[in-house]
Structure 1
Amino acid sequence: MSTLYDIIREAAAGSAEGRLHFGQVIGLMVVAGVDAYTVDYRSARTTYYPREAAPLDLPLATPPMPIPEAFDVAALRSAIAGSQRGQVMYPQFKRLSMAAGCVGYTVWIAGRHVTYYGRRGETHVEQFPD
């Protein structure tokens, strides 16, 4: 039987390899009882917050590229839309969102939205599609 940490690790690996799209990852997070997770491109880490267990911090492979100072919400929204349509998988999403000036984001599973962050504290909130 898989532990919640095994489920989280499988979701992270499947996403990183481009095998699982965002909706599938969220489905696995729900099964694992994860309330939220935070991606930090600058530290190359993702921290998962299960409701009934200690947080799990995993390394995140990030593209070797600088993150611009400007937070380009239009470019970020384009990357998000591609991801929601299943046309942009996570390896490409990381490149596109970083190029848009995104330094990280928090996925609020129960709240059904993602908060994206820019270098100067800017935020963009994107609701989950229905």
Structure 2
Amino acid sequence: MNANTHSAIQATFDASQQGTIHFGEVISQLMRVQVESYHVDYRTGRTTYYLPDGSTLDLAFGRPQEGIADTFNDGEIRAAILGAQQGRVMYPEFKRLSQRAGCIGYTVWLAGRHVTYLGRRGESHIEHFPD
């Protein structure tokens, strides 16, 4: 991974964590540097970015202070996603809402234009990017 790509991913990660850019901007910025997908693991506090050439970048963030709900609530996940898609819910709030809904992490498939949200017992919710 070249220094420009690393820098762009880091800047996008930082802005998202601070809640200064919305989900659409995250996707746009990561696509510009050819990120193929990324995985967020709330339990470990890690986000891993994957590029088509096989290179990866692993970045740490604060683990949930409130914990993650035991039960995966699909309706609450969908509500948090809708808020993020509409730009009303920024990432710090999205993390809290999705963790309260029992989401342990998710994978964003930029190349496939969808996100897979995961629960503790293998539950999943797939959300396709809006057109």
The aligned counterpart of 1:111 is 112
Distance 1:113 1:70 in 2: 23
The aligned counterpart of 1:102 is 103
CA shift for structure 1 position 61: 2.2
The aligned counterpart of 2:8 is 7
TM-score (ref. length: structure 2): 0.95
- Is 2:106 the counterpart of 1:88? no
The aligned counterpart of 2:18 is 17
- Is 2:65 the counterpart of 1:64? yes
Aligned-residue CA RMSD in angstroms?
1.3
TM-score (ref. length: structure 1): 0.96
Q: Secondary structure of the residue that 1:38 maps to in structure 2?
A: strand
**What fraction of aligned residue pairs are identical, expressed as a percent?**
50
Are the aligned partners of 2:114 and 2:129 in contact in 1 as well (CA < 8 Å)?
Answer: yes
Q: Following TM superposition, where does structure 1 have runs of at least 4 consecutive aligned residues deviating by more than 4 angstroms? A: none
Distance 1:47 1:12 in 2: 11
CA shift for structure 1 position 66: 1.5
CA shift for structure 1 position 53: 5.2
Are the aligned partners of 1:73 and 1:100 in contact in 2 as well (CA < 8 Å)?
Answer: yes
Gaps of 5+ in 2: none
Are the aligned partners of 1:62 and 1:94 in contact in 2 as well (CA < 8 Å)?
Answer: no
Distance 1:66 1:72 in 2: 15
The aligned amino acid for 1:124 is: H
The aligned amino acid for 2:5 is: L
Superposed, which structure 2 residues align to 1:42-81 within 5 Å? 42-52=43-53, 54-81=55-82
Q: Secondary structure of the residue that 1:52 maps to in structure 2?
A: coil
| Count of residue pairs brought into register by the alignment | 130
Are the aligned partners of 2:39 and 2:47 in contact in 1 as well (CA < 8 Å)?
Answer: yes
Distance 1:52 1:28 in 2: 18
Distance 1:62 1:109 in 2: 24
The aligned counterpart of 1:129 is 130
